[in-house]
Amino acid sequence: MTTTAEAHPATAPTLARPFSLCAALSAWPFQDVVLPFAVTRVLLVLAGFFALYTMPAAANGDPWQASPHALVNAWASWDSRWYLQIAQQGYTLTPDADGQLPAAFWPALPVLLTRRSIEDGAKG
């Protein structure tokens, strides 16, 4: 006849492995998520610097300023100006000074911006 001690032999408690930076860097979340995200952000910032210092300014002077920082404005000036104009004035068929139309932009963001401004106006 076996006793309970013999049926379930005691096992030594296992200790947690100490933190290893190499193990953390080789784990799938880092390699598949964090590393590609960080690399693409660095490349986008470099592309912003390159565009900021090599491309000429807009012909119409583009007074749109989202920030006092030139690098932020380099990214903000691409589409945010259009979305804000659509939210304020709606879609127009009249081209701007560069001959571009706001009809190329999907209506979801301008509709949300307009709705939010209406809600904010009703609250204030």
Rounded CA-CA distance 124/119 in Å is 9
Rounded CA-CA distance 64/77 in Å is 7
- Indicate whether this model's pTM tops 0.75: no
Residue ranges of domains in the chain: 22-57, 68-119
DSSP class of residue 30 equals I
76 burial type by CB count under 10 A (0-12 exposed, 13-18 middle, 19+ buried): middle
In this predicted structure, what is the pLDDT of residue 38? 93
In this predicted structure, what is the pLDDT of residue 9? 59
Q: Which of 60, 52, 45 is nearest to 99 (CA)?
A: 60
pLDDT in tens, the chain (124 residues): 555 555 555 666 666 677 777 777 777 787 888 889 999 999 988 988 888 788 776 665 666 677 788 777 777 766 777 777 777 888 887 887 778 777 777 777 777 777 777 677 666 5
In this predicted structure, what is the pLDDT of residue 83? 77
In this predicted structure, what is the pLDDT of residue 3? 55
110 burial type by CB count under 10 A (0-12 exposed, 13-18 middle, 19+ buried): buried
Rounded to the nearest 10°, the torsion over CA 28, 30, 31, 35 is 160
Amino acid at 73: N
